[in-house]
Amino acid sequence: MQARKKASWCQLAFQACAQAYMIEIQPRARECFFEDLHKDDQMTVTYQVSGGGHLDIDFTLSDPTSIIYQNPKKDTGTFSLTATKDGRYTYCFSNAMSMNSEKTVSFNVHGIIYVPDDGQTQPIEREIRILSDAIKAVQDEQEYLVARERVHRNTAESTNDRVKWWSIAQTALLFAMCAWQVYYLKAFFEVKRVI
């Protein structure tokens, strides 16, 4: 019984350790990461492009033998899997389609080690697992909102900067037009003498 509780607490500790990363991917580059999983382990990868170009990235996930998921040219994505075999599961972010813009990608990897529930689990342990999952979902949503806020703030600041320069250009054009009109109208009222 004591070993079972220890295994459950180890699972919860691992489950609560969601790993969040932010990487810069250069043009025509590919960044790959891996997780060593055992059969029936679960893993979820959530990603979002928060800067650069058209905010799109190619995502692929492969098991030890083949590609099991592709999500090309998307700005966000989530994929969950339950390992069907032991081995190294690799997930890659590719910026190969971009010629000159680097991309900023933030991603989270969540995994839980499979511990079978044989009916001996205490109700409090089940509730702790449910609460842990709910906290993880809230944390993912918060990270997503922070990344979206960053993108929207950058867009608003860029728009504000363009509006400022456009207003300055219009003001300069207005003063130039006023000066030209004064000069032109002044020429109408000047007396021209013929000798």
Cα angle: 112, vertex 120, 134; to 5 degrees: 40
Cα angle: 24, vertex 26, 30; to 5 degrees: 90
Is residue 185 helix, strand or coil? helix
Please give the structure tokens belonging to residue 152. Answer: 């929207």
Per-residue pLDDT tens over the stretch 98-148: 888 899 998 888 876 555 555 666 778 778 878 888 888 888 788 888 888
pTM of the predicted model as reported, rounded to 2 decimal places: 0.57
Lowest mean pLDDT among 36-40, 90-94, 182-186: 36-40
Per-residue pLDDT tens over the stretch 63-72: 999 999 998 9
